[in-house]
Amino acid sequence: MRLQGKGLINRSRKVRFSFDGRSYEGFEGDTLASALLANGVKLMARSFKYHRPRGVLTAGSEEPNALVTVGKGGSQDPNMRATVQEIYEGLEAVSQNRWPSLDFDVMGVNDLGAPFLGAGFYYKTFMWPKAFWEKLYEPVIRRAAGLGAISGDPISDKYERGFAHCDVLVIGSGPSGLMAALTAAEAGADVILAEEDSALGGRLLSESGEIDGTPARDWAEAIVGRLDAMDNVRIMTRTSVTGAYDGGTYGALERVAHHRPLAKGLPKECFWKIAAKRAVLAAGALERPVAFQNNDRPGVMMASAVRAYVNRWNVAPGQAVALFGNNDSIHDVAADLLAAGVHVAALIDSRADARCALDVPFYAGAQACGTEGRKALEAVSIARPSGIEKVQADCLGMSGGWNPTLHLTCHMNGRPEWNEAIAAFVPKVGMVPGLIAAGACNGVFSTAACLGEGVGAAQAACEALGLKAKVPQMPRAEDRPYNIAPLWAVAGKGRAWLDFQNDVTVKDVKQAAVENFRSVEHMKRYTTQGMATDQGKNSNVQALAVLADATGRGIPETGTTTYRPPFTPVAIAAMAAGAADKGFAPERFTTSHRLTVAANAPMIEAGLWYRPSYFPAKGETTWRQSCDREVGYVRNAVGVCDVSTLGKIDIKGKDAGAFLDFVYTNMFSTLKVGRVRYGLMLREDGHVMDDGTTARLAEDHFVMTTTTAAAGEVMKHMEFVSQGLRPDLDVRFASVTEHWAQFAVAGPKARELLNGLLDAPIEGESWPFMACGNVKVAGVSGRLFRISFSGEHAYEVAVPARYGESLFGELRKRAEKLGGGAYGMEALNVLRIEKGFITHGEIHGRVTAFDIGMQGMMSKKKDFIGKAAAMRPGLLDEDREMMVGLKPVGVVKQLTAGAHLYNEGAEPVRKNNQGYLTSVAFSPTMETFLGLGFLRGGRARHGEIVQMVDHVRGISTTCEVCHPVFLDPEGERSRD
């Protein structure tokens, strides 16, 4: 029911929304919870396990009960807290975990079975037979118990991430936070004020006190106005700081569009990473429930929530409100209810010495001990020394005291300490370096003290930053002592709820203790208390107090479970913000990409690069047809292939040669200018890292090529060698991978093709095999290398990337005129396998130079990276798996990569494994499958017959072991 009064709702702006398909009206400024209560809707959810009817418990982000689903399909958000969800025109929310409806839930039958469904029930009951757990029990239980569900559709919303930086991050905007932000900002600090709520002011928005003689809410508004006007203050509302991390880094979730319809480009949420030199935690405190029989009826809520609904949203959560608690808070709430004209049915104070100044039915030294009503509260039973009395009430506000919201202080392994005086845990100083807790989250509850703590924390933060914070005129405010008598659970029969979200009762926790789950961590896992979206914010302290009692220990000895980020739930989509689809990783395109795609070439990913698989010609129906044709281009005419993806590093300086000698196994300082040499690079552990060619363009200038896959790794390695091992060498390098577009031109007609484009054509043997130099390509300065990865007479020609597309088009056109054309990765692979050239298929990280037959390339004349380790006897063992060639010689002609090798007649089991295949191809040149692989002692076994078995594909082939170079072993074609 809506009350008169000046809450934070805009009565001139009506908002229509729906809940479970029914249309309602609220006001701008309402949350879903406040609007539903205003419409008299108390039943908002069914509980997790027993499907008990539940209403709203709180008015904040800690809400355990009133979880709803908002949106549909790819935009569906389960478990949205009705207390956080603001209403907007057209909002559609539905309740969860019920069937067929919230009002009539078939699974409510679980509640009748409650005596059997207590803690540990599942563990004990569904043990046997084992296979039934996964196939039968778990799916059934999951359907019966649970929270909201995702739609299963791909997400259609946009999520964003952001980075922010500040001197002082103030978390929370209650009295402490506002004073901290103001003090720090006036001292000149860059301040970020992060507030989880949609409005600033914290508890001041829900209370009725005064500060400096004006209503506290007005005072807050004035401070916010001052902050807003300062350039060095950034106010972030609807932003929950969810985690404290190393080095002053904080995670924060901003709800950008949960309170409005989504518009194009608008992110639903933004996950901020905030780097703060200092932080002030002013997160306030959370009121805790008291456990008593049937304390979970819709209508039973926190006293502070009652107060918030009345004062902030002008909603009476009931016609007759009872209040029950163990501290002074309930008296304040009662006063506000009276002021708002709401009937207070009973004020039940468990403290025997409590006094009441209000004109309400007052019960001192009494406890609420039961409730009536199924889908809504109807009556409350009060246990007094004289007996049990029943009062009619449709709302009960309870207060078991206040827990400082200290979660963030514990995110870096800190444990809070127990403060007996306030019966709560409080943070210890310095648990998160650079973060100071102030006000209620520090266990200080009066408004005046909170204002002071905010100032003090900001001063300390400023001082640490070398800023001088002025001592402000302290505002006048309420400064009453906090008076509490601990009360965790009211004695009595029946189910007294501790954890509303997980349906955990006092009995469950006691049961855990009986079964020797005495550690608080064990109790949590056994009962599930403290799990799911509220992470026990409403139940942890009471549960561990009950556990402490049941185990005969004190609360400090029992301790708390570990607080971990996030403070409030964060959607995975928010953490992965922007990283889906095109945002997953950068796409790298070669300069020939556009023409290649236009030629209908299917593209494959090579690391981040996209490269053509093959270029289909008219009439071809399989990739093999295209591939075979392209291989033919290179073997018989001329083929063109974009090889720009290979890493290219310019290496300069007087010690460039010496440096290369150190990173390569073979010598490069002796390489003549104008020549290219193949080089092999090891890791320091003696295994092959990468290979490639390096050309010497001038005395002090080399250009190295790396494989596409290892380009980044090699660059990083070279930086390490240069900076960390050999800073004495005068050498500088720069990646030029991106600067040069480079194309392989391979085949008997390669020279003929190039000569049509080079300003100075190659004459005779002026560019012998492994020659290199600068050239002009159609007037453009480029580089030419006579190198071959196909075994044919071949070149690689490089021009600045801006000309790449144009040159590729030109090369392809000219190649086609010569009976050739462009070739893709499939053909490239066949060509290199025919020649026994390795790729990372072979040098996969576990092989040595010895294994691939390149032990001769390990120079004895110098030290090099990996030399000492490569010389270890085990890495030179003649029984190691060595690279070999394999040809099918039996009935089955197919070879498959990844298949294993066995001796003829040996059972194909692991202990008989002799090796494996790394690369296979059908060679159109030799009209057979060819394979490269590794075989125990393989170099001495050429001519032997072995069995290839592919257990996955079910293929078995008899193979002959041979030399890995199948074609032109003398290399005559490339030298022609």
Site for another protein in 779-838 (CB under 8 A): 779-780, 799-807, 810
Q: Quote the least distance from Cβ 264 to another protein, whole Å.
A: 7
The secondary structure of 883-914 as a DSSP string is EEEEEE-SS-----TT-EEEETTS--SGGG--
Q: Hey, what amino acid is at 677?
A: R
Select from 213, 481, 723, 907 the one that contacts another protein (CB under 8 A): 723
Interaction of residue 767 with another protein, rule CB under 8 A:
no
Interaction of residue 504 with another protein, rule CB under 8 A:
no
Report the DSSP beta bridge partners of residue 363: 348
Interaction of residue 580 with another protein, rule CB under 8 A:
no
Interaction of residue 136 with another protein, rule CB under 8 A:
no
Secondary structure element (H or E) that encloses residue 870, with its range: helix 867-870
Residue 723 neighbours by CB under 8 Å, 6+ apart: none
Which residues, 184 to 213, sit near another protein by CB under 8 A?
190
Name which of 275 and 376 has its Cβ closer to another protein: 275
Name which of 620 and 700 has its Cβ closer to another protein: 700
Interface stretch with another protein, choices 109-117, 157-165, 278-286, 548-556 (CB under 8 A): 157-165
In Å, what is the CA distance from 158 to each residue of 85, 237, 251, 754?
18, 19, 19, 50
Name which of 430 and 494 has its Cβ closer to another protein: 430
Name which of 385 and 724 has its Cβ closer to another protein: 724
In Å, what is the CA distance from 909 to each residue of 92, 201, 711, 912, 952?
60, 71, 37, 6, 13
Residue 171 is encoded by which pair of tokens?
């978390």
Interaction of residue 757 with another protein, rule CB under 8 A:
yes
Interaction of residue 857 with another protein, rule CB under 8 A:
no
What's the rounded Cα separation, in Å, for the pair 184 and 490? 45
Interaction of residue 578 with another protein, rule CB under 8 A:
yes
Which residues, 256 to 315, sit near another protein by CB under 8 A?
256, 263-267, 270, 273, 275
Select from 149, 388, 868, 940 the one that contacts another protein (CB under 8 A): 868
Name which of 545 and 798 has its Cβ closer to another protein: 798
Select from 20, 685, 752, 960 the one that contacts another protein (CB under 8 A): 685
Secondary structure element (H or E) that encloses residue 123, with its range: helix 121-125
Which residues, 654 to 673, sit near another protein by CB under 8 A?
654
Select from 491, 572, 725, 926 the one that contacts another protein (CB under 8 A): 725
What's the rounded Cα separation, in Å, for the pair 41 and 64? 17
Which residues, 935 to 954, sit near another protein by CB under 8 A?
none
Which residues, 356 to 375, sit near another protein by CB under 8 A?
none
Interface stretch with another protein, choices 354-362, 421-429, 455-463, 862-870 (CB under 8 A): 862-870
Q: Quote the least distance from Cβ 562 to another protein, whole Å.
A: 16
- Site track 211-250 with another protein (rule: CB under 8 A), x = hit: ----------------------------------xxxxx-
Interaction of residue 252 with another protein, rule CB under 8 A:
no
Interface stretch with another protein, choices 33-41, 155-163, 599-607, 622-630 (CB under 8 A): 155-163
Sign of the CA dihedral 808, 810, 814, 817?
Answer: positive
Residue 883 is encoded by which pair of tokens?
């690279």
Interaction of residue 778 with another protein, rule CB under 8 A:
yes
Residue 5 is encoded by which pair of tokens?
């009064």
Name which of 868 and 909 has its Cβ closer to another protein: 868
What's the rounded Cα separation, in Å, for the pair 77 and 258? 10
Name which of 277 and 525 has its Cβ closer to another protein: 277
Interaction of residue 877 with another protein, rule CB under 8 A:
no
SS3 681: strand
Select from 736, 852, 899, 917 the one that contacts another protein (CB under 8 A): 736
The secondary structure of 774-843 as a DSSP string is EEEETTEEEEEE---SSSSSEEEEEEEGGGHHHHHHHHHHHHHHTT-EE--HHHHHHHHHHTT---TTTS
Backbone phi and psi for residue 733, each to the nearest 5 degrees, phi listed first: -135, 155
Select from 164, 220, 280, 303 the one that contacts another protein (CB under 8 A): 164
Name which of 686 and 931 has its Cβ closer to another protein: 686
Name which of 139 and 583 has its Cβ closer to another protein: 583
In Å, what is the CA distance from 748 to each residue of 171, 617, 672, 793, 816?
72, 22, 26, 6, 14
What's the rounded Cα separation, in Å, for the pair 915 and 886? 12
- How many residues line the site for another protein (CB under 8 A)? 82
Interface stretch with another protein, choices 55-63, 115-123, 733-741, 925-933 (CB under 8 A): 733-741
What's the rounded Cα separation, in Å, for the pair 906 and 926? 30
In the block, tokens 């069914």 appear at 46
Nearest Cα to Cα of residue 21 among 46, 48, 47, 41: 41
Q: Quote the least distance from Cβ 531 to another protein, whole Å.
A: 27
What's the rounded Cα separation, in Å, for the pair 515 and 498? 19
Interaction of residue 861 with another protein, rule CB under 8 A:
no
Interaction of residue 122 with another protein, rule CB under 8 A:
no
Interaction of residue 27 with another protein, rule CB under 8 A:
no
What's the rounded Cα separation, in Å, for the pair 125 and 554? 33
Name which of 161 and 525 has its Cβ closer to another protein: 161
Nearest Cα to Cα of residue 731 among 720, 740, 722: 722
Cα angle: 587, vertex 590, 596; to 5 degrees? 105
